[in-house]
Amino acid sequence: MNIDLSGRTALVTGSTAGIGEAAAAALAAAGADVVVNGRDADRVDEVAKRLGVRGIAADVGTAEGVAEIVEQLPDVDVLVNNAGVFSPIPVFEISDAEWLRIYQVNVLSGVRLTRHYAPRMVNRGWGRVIFVSSESAVQPPTEMVHYGMTKTAQLALSRGMAQEVAGTGVTVNSVLPGPTLTEGVREFVRSLYPDLDFAEAERRFMAQDRPTSLLGRLIRPEEVANLITYVASDQAAATTGGALRVDGGVASAIIP
């Protein structure tokens, strides 16, 4: 299968590290004109130069940050709503401010950006909107219920938005990674097993904390990026309104 995104413009939010950076690199390799995004201008510039793409520094967790992006980039063909934050906190200790913070970044960023870009995609007769959700959407993690809640919300959003643009040439989907070897997850695993080297900590984490994984290891960001790139392509024209797992089998359910 030859995926060719030449002539397509793709915005990947939260793309200065981890899954977002891997997705930006994969989309660029497929020929897309990619725009990376993050809050830190120096980091955005560094990643944009390394990947040979454009960059926009803005906080998509705020209405002002989204407005700044759409002013600089009025149209895109592929929108990857990847920006997200997580923090392990016992559910009854999560403050109102923390509930609102994680909702603003993980959910409202995608709402605001898709609300701007999707209707314009419809007018052009082609577009791809991809929410980077998580297996936590279908099996909420006890240590961060608020994060799981936002990931479940993304599934409802992507399905509802897909229904709204039905038959227009625009698709909306969610991709559900499992535990992935990003810097944030690396630090989280290290915090759980501070006395072990990382290879052993990874094995212990998967065996004890994610025992349902059929893969038996942390997923690599590039493996998630491969699915994102496919969903962004012409070849995925019949895939819409879906929740697509790339979780290593950690969610012990058949659908999604």
Q: CA nearest 172: which of 111, 218, 99?
A: 111
- For residue 79, the SS3 value is strand
Fill in the DSSP letter of residue 176: E
Q: Which of 103, 117, 147, 230 is catalytic?
A: 147
Per DSSP, helices labelled H in 63-144 are: 63-72, 96-103, 109-124
Order of strands, sheet of 243-246, starting from the edge strand that comes earlier in the sequence: 54-57, 33-38, 9-12, 78-81, 127-132, 170-177, 243-246
CA contacts within 13 A on the Cβ side of 230: 15
CA distance 131 to 150: 11
CA distance 145 to 69: 30
CA distance 228 to 246: 10
147 annotated active-site: yes
Q: Which two tokens stand for residue 105?
A: 């970044």
Q: Which residues participate in catalysis according to the annotation?
A: 147
